[in-house]
Structures are given as C-alpha cells and as structure tokens.
A = this chain, B = another copy of it.
Amino acid sequence: MQIRTDLALEQHELNPEVEGIESEEITVGKAKITRITVLNEKGEQAIGKKRGRYITVEVPPFSDDSGMDEDQITAIKNELANMIPKEGVVLVVGLGNTNITPDALGPKTASRVLATRHITQEFARSIGLEGLRGVAVISPGVLGQTGIETSEIIMGTIQRVNPSAVIVIDALASRRLARLGCTVQMADTGISPGSGVGNERAEISKDTLGVPVISIGVPTVVDATTLAYDLLGEKPQQSQLVEPRGAKMIVTPREIDILIDRAAQLLSHSINCALQPSIDPEVLLSLV
C-alpha cells in the first residue's frame, strides 16, 4: 500500500465501488459532511478500516484569521453529540507528543477542553454554570517519554474514572495537502496500532477499553512517500529522494505551528460545545 491516509474519505475515494461500504454526503452552510459506514469484512478489507462510522466535516481551507468557521463548529458539535452517550462522565484524551509540533494537536486541544468532573453541581450552579456535564481530561504523552503504552494509561484512568465514553484526539495524516488543517474526521472505531503521525501504539477501542471510543482529528501532514507515489503513479525508483537512509519525511505548510493552533482551537471549542450543550458557547470560550 503506497498511499497512506488516516481518512476513511480518502480510502473510499481510492476504492469507490466496493461492497460493504455505505456513504452519504450532505451540505450545511459552508460545511460538507460525509458519513461513511464500513458494514462488514468486505468493506474492512476494501478500505483498510475497521467496521463502524467515519464522519468527515470539510470546509474551504482557513480563509479567515481565526480559523473558527461557525458552520464547521456546528456540524462537528452535532455529529459528535450523536456519537456520545447522553449520560455519564466523558474522558477526553489528547494523544501525541507535545514537543513535536506536527504531533502536538492532541495535547494542545486537550489543554483547552474544559475539565469539570471535580466540580460539584452546587458549585457549578453558584457560578452560573448549571447543568455542567462531568468531563475528565488527560494527555498521557508518548511511549518514548513514559515507557508506558498510551492504551495502558488510558485503561488505568478508565478504571478510576468509570466514564461512559472516551474521546481521543489525534493528529492525522491525509493523502491530499489540500485537506491539511481544514478537514475534521470523527469515528466510532477507536485508534488502531500504527495510526497517527507515525507512532506505533496498541489499539485504543471499545474492544480493548470496554467503553465506546470516539476519535476526532485533523490531518496535519502528508507522508512524503504518499506524495511521491501520487506524483509518479508508482513507487519512487530512487527512494533515497523521499526517505533518505529510511527516515520518514512529511509534507506540511511552513506555518505548521499556526495550523496546529487553529485546529486545536476548532476541535476544543467543538468538543466543549458538544459536551456542554446547556452552556452558552461564548461562555465556554471565555472559560478556557
């Protein structure tokens, strides 16, 4: 497989006419929503993704300075709200390495998600935040920093926090540079080993954790090898050009830091809105 992408949308574009896949596309304002369902093993093999739902919300690339498109936020919030159980604490997990810019989307987003599990209803009411839902937030780091599989830290936390669902946030790789920073994918299938921007990880899913796992992410890079394959229509003959001494290279905008900051703002605000429907979005923005 020469084309690497974490987006079901792009996998489906590569194999449009397969059995075992259903897809629909709707447009709300500027936001285009694509819902892909992998129905069975045939579908799994065809697009290399586990059975389940994959929802993409696309808007034209960040044209305004803030990156906060209202239509996109509304669409993400609604899709996310539909995937999350209505009751119970939600555990939000920022995956990735805070010291590696293209991989910092998860922790950056998590740092702006409102943690509320420790706030009593009484106190919440006293500060005008009646109806806060319990949310716990962790950024477990990466294996090289901790010596612990991310999935193990999440499992340990689940045993203490007992959430009704887990939301995992991660930087993604896409096939197309045009999608960097302006496409959001949600899925209810968890994170499989080897996903993300090049980190091997044990699976983080309902199968391994015992509670629903909703993943949300934004593509921040394209693999250089994928770009080369797309340009050439075949595997590059001189692999040294794209992977010198076997080192994986990425393609990204020079202003990668700005892309990450905007995507973190977009995701965190959408997640806060989805988790706290009874709180005014403006108030949520002022709290983080």
Q: Which residues of A contact B (CB under 8 A)?
A: 61, 64-66, 99-103, 111, 115-119, 134-141, 143-149, 152-153, 155-161, 176-178, 197-198, 221, 224, 227-228, 230-232, 236, 238, 240-245, 247-258, 286-287
| Smallest Cβ-Cβ distance to A228: which chain B residue | B231
Q: How far is the CB of A272 from chain B (nearest CB, A)?
A: 13
| Smallest Cβ-Cβ distance to A236: which chain B residue | B231
B144 x A115 contact (CB < 8 A): yes
A245 x B178 contact (CB < 8 A): yes
Q: Which residues of B contact A144 (CB under 8 A)?
A: 115, 118
Which one, B99, B138, B242, contacts A177 given CB within 8 A? B242
B137 x A145 contact (CB < 8 A): yes
Q: How far is the CB of A60 from chain B (nearest CB, A)?
A: 9
Q: Which residues of B contact A228 (CB under 8 A)?
A: 227, 231
State in angstroms the CA–CA spacing of A61 and B235 once bound together. 25
With most chain B CB atoms within 10 A of its CB, the pick from A116, A248, A255, A256 is: A255
State in angstroms the CA–CA spacing of A100 and B139 once bound together. 17
B252 x A249 contact (CB < 8 A): yes
B61 x A115 contact (CB < 8 A): no
With most chain B CB atoms within 10 A of its CB, the pick from A111, A115, A156 is: A156
Which one, B65, B143, B242, B256, contacts A287 given CB within 8 A? B65
B254 x A103 contact (CB < 8 A): yes
State in angstroms the CA–CA spacing of A146 and B197 once bound together. 25
9 contacts between A and B (CB under 8 A): A61-B247, A100-B254, A137-B145, A177-B244, A224-B227, A231-B231, A231-B241, A250-B253, A256-B256
B242 x A253 contact (CB < 8 A): no
**With A101-B256, A249-B177: A155-B160 Cβ-Cβ less than 8 Å:** yes
Q: How far is the CB of A110 from chain B (nearest CB, A)?
A: 9
State in angstroms the CA–CA spacing of A245 and B60 once bound together. 11
Which one, B100, B149, B161, contacts A257 given CB within 8 A? B100
**With A159-B159, A177-B249: A254-B147 Cβ-Cβ less than 8 Å:** no
A138 x B141 contact (CB < 8 A): yes
State in angstroms the CA–CA spacing of A134 and B148 once bound together. 11
